[in-house]
Structure 1
């Protein structure tokens, strides 16, 4: 079963969307690991740079056949943003191992970018605490926020937080909604739940977007390989059902 939050956000397609997110992250990780291997260096720049670009591209590719998907590239941004229905999916790496709790996740490794701040300001949940002014975070945030004006007012920002590294691949993934707290990228989760990394057999029975054979929204999502180059598939049991993090989790962690 899915949580009420997931059903409210994605409707009957929620299982498919959730598995599609895992598929996209797995593809991006595999590409990043390949780049690191080909580079033949101990420095992790090839892995990080490839992952940064491919995670957005992979999301767009996985969901490209859904009828209500928008792919938007704001002026000044290097990345294409994927909106499924009214949900803008924004993946970010919060940790490189399991030593960091998602409750203490920070978005980015420094000051939030102009794009990130604009997304939270325009599409994030109603803040519990006073939000930062756009100009306090990045000088170009206001123009970027205006560039997002083409998206519907009903758009909601859905964060996809994941941890991974070049050796082990994808370790875990979560999704939910949060507000941006400060210049360090700290978050206050309004809702956060774990995404199972082992895909099930989610199948879309009824969809207004269905049209034609072989579409993503008509078939069964293939089970993604979490470590694409390992000779043995990593076997992990499905994660426990939706693990909620309360709004004060980030503060108390």
Structure 2
């Protein structure tokens, strides 16, 4: 991934309330014009695209991604999606449609963390159940993008004689996060890209080695897993001003007191 500018992605906060993660409060922050201006700026400055987050109580991620894809030419939305919020056949169809209409610009970030599940009729299970369901979700979606007349009878999801249209010659790439053992086993088997947070070099190296070993242990059926790093950057005229603004933004978040000691580590 390093060295290929198409793999450097930004972040667009599709939030109903302003001030996300300490961002400045700006009128119209969630309007179509504001979101499109961010996507077009990403495109104009040579970034490949941007992550669009998900969670109940914020604007629907897929709808935002579709609007931004329609108003850009090279911008690639990294669409965060949750198994449970989506069922696999519905999601495979929506993603295939946008992949076709956008000329192959869709990227997918699968999220298995906690959410307000009851609000949209989902249920909370333990970690094993949650990641088991995620793995089934990914298996079905991959098959629906590659095959016709798919039948799958799993513990969590089922489809019968299912064919997604339009057919895809190049399906979206699947990004995945999570650091638990259960999450890493799903990533090593089914994801295309494992995302890390801003961890130490030794920590990232250890996780890459562990994931590569898991690929072999689990008999991965896809091309080798790739890796990405998620970081937040603060750019200012001077180093001192950048640190001051970074610390202020972290302090403004709900976990600021816990994160501040890590800033200069």
TM-score in terms of structure 2 length:
0.36
Q: Which has the higher helix share?
A: 2
Query: Larger relative CO (CA 8 A, sep 6+): 1 or 2?
Result: 1
